[in-house]
Amino acid sequence: MIWSLYSPIAGYSVNIFLLLGLGGSVGFFSGLSGVGGGFLLTPLLIMAGIPPTVAAATDSNQIVASATSGAYAHYRMGSVDFKMGLLIFAGGFVGSTVGVEIIKFMREVGEVDFFIEVTYVVLLGILGFLMMADSINCLLKKKGVSGSIDKSKKRFFHDRLFQALPWEMRFNKSDVTLSPILPVFAGGFAGMVAAILGVGGGFIMLPTMCYVLRMPMHVVVGTNLFQEVLVCANITAMQAITNHTVDLALALILLSGSTVGAQFGARLGHKLNADYLKLVLASVVLLVMVKILVELTFSPDLMLGIKGGR
């Protein structure tokens, strides 16, 4: 069978069309709905037989490509807050380094596969239900403004708490004044999760930027993509140096599928109802979550596993 790609790091052959299809469809969904595809691609790679550690590390590498592509487009539109992005990355650098070390430790104790899978069940479960609830809510309202996030300017207790933090800084691009502790802390948490799961961390940073950092919507996506490039580049370097789990051969096929798929998805997204698309994506996310959960709940076919993954 010549249409297989041999992954030298995983020591395993995978069908090239399957990889292109996975990368392309996740990129397509990503471009269609506007959410990052990392959280979906890693579990799909695991299902295709790629060991979880290799899947997560390689996915981080391919996110560098897709996020660079997106960040460049936003940079041209002038919607990237570099100052904020660099502060988030400062936290993300520490967080992602800690995340890689957690993976190394879990690998040594032989629980890395279980750890990644359980974290995915929780993440995909929360994300899938929130997306589904949001899309159903929007479909029910119908008359509401689609695609925009209602950004309340109402001041809550946490707003007052955040304002009490020291060393306030002015972020002209985002038109906000806040303590750098907040973006550094949020970046640190997102970076840690990103390193463990092989995702960009956008699902944490986007709502954080909107609702905690109070950044305007037009700079949120571009700034998030900019920090994702830096954080995922750090994760790729750390995974390559510490765990030797980044597979360039695999990443090249995936990124060629996902970058092109994302562009087609983005073009089609303008023509279709965004709420129905979000509903479809939510269903896919929940299906993947259920599949992993079933595997964790029902008696496995094999009662022994190789310590530290294959």
Q: Give the interface with other proteins as residue ranges (CB under 8 A).
A: 1-9, 11-13, 16, 61-62, 64-70, 72-73, 76-77, 110-111, 113-114, 118, 229, 233, 236-241, 244, 246-249, 251-252, 255-256, 259-260, 263, 267, 296-308, 310
Question: Would you tell me the crossing angle of helices 82-109 and 181-197 to the nearest 10 degrees?
Answer: 40
Determine contact, residues 201/226, Cβ cutoff 8 Å: no
Least separation in angstroms between residue 5's CB and other proteins is 7
Least separation in angstroms between residue 99's CB and other proteins is 15
What is the Cα–Cα distance from 168 to 176, expressed in whole angstroms?
A: 10
SS3 for 298? coil
Least separation in angstroms between residue 119's CB and other proteins is 13
Using the CB atoms, write b or e for 37-56: b if 16+ within 10 Å: bbbbbbbbbbeeebbbbbbb
What is the Cα–Cα distance from 103 to 245, expressed in whole angstroms?
A: 11
Provide DSSP, 155-172: --HHHHHHHTSSS-EEET
Question: Would you tell me the crossing angle of helices 16-33 and 274-297 to the nearest 10 degrees?
Answer: 130
By beta-carbon proximity to other proteins, the closer residue of 165 and 248 is 248
By beta-carbon proximity to other proteins, the closer residue of 248 and 287 is 248
Count CB neighbours of 280 within 10 A.
15
By beta-carbon proximity to other proteins, the closer residue of 212 and 293 is 293
Instruction: Return the amino acid letter for 281.
Output: L
Least separation in angstroms between residue 116's CB and other proteins is 12
By beta-carbon proximity to other proteins, the closer residue of 10 and 215 is 10
Count CB neighbours of 199 within 10 A.
28
User: Half-sphere exposure of 17 toward its Cβ, with a 13 Å CA cutoff?
Assistant: 3
Least separation in angstroms between residue 295's CB and other proteins is 8
Least separation in angstroms between residue 16's CB and other proteins is 8
Least separation in angstroms between residue 244's CB and other proteins is 5
Nearest to 293 by CA among 12, 47, 17: 47
By beta-carbon proximity to other proteins, the closer residue of 14 and 288 is 14
Least separation in angstroms between residue 299's CB and other proteins is 7
By beta-carbon proximity to other proteins, the closer residue of 64 and 138 is 64
By beta-carbon proximity to other proteins, the closer residue of 179 and 256 is 256
By beta-carbon proximity to other proteins, the closer residue of 169 and 248 is 248
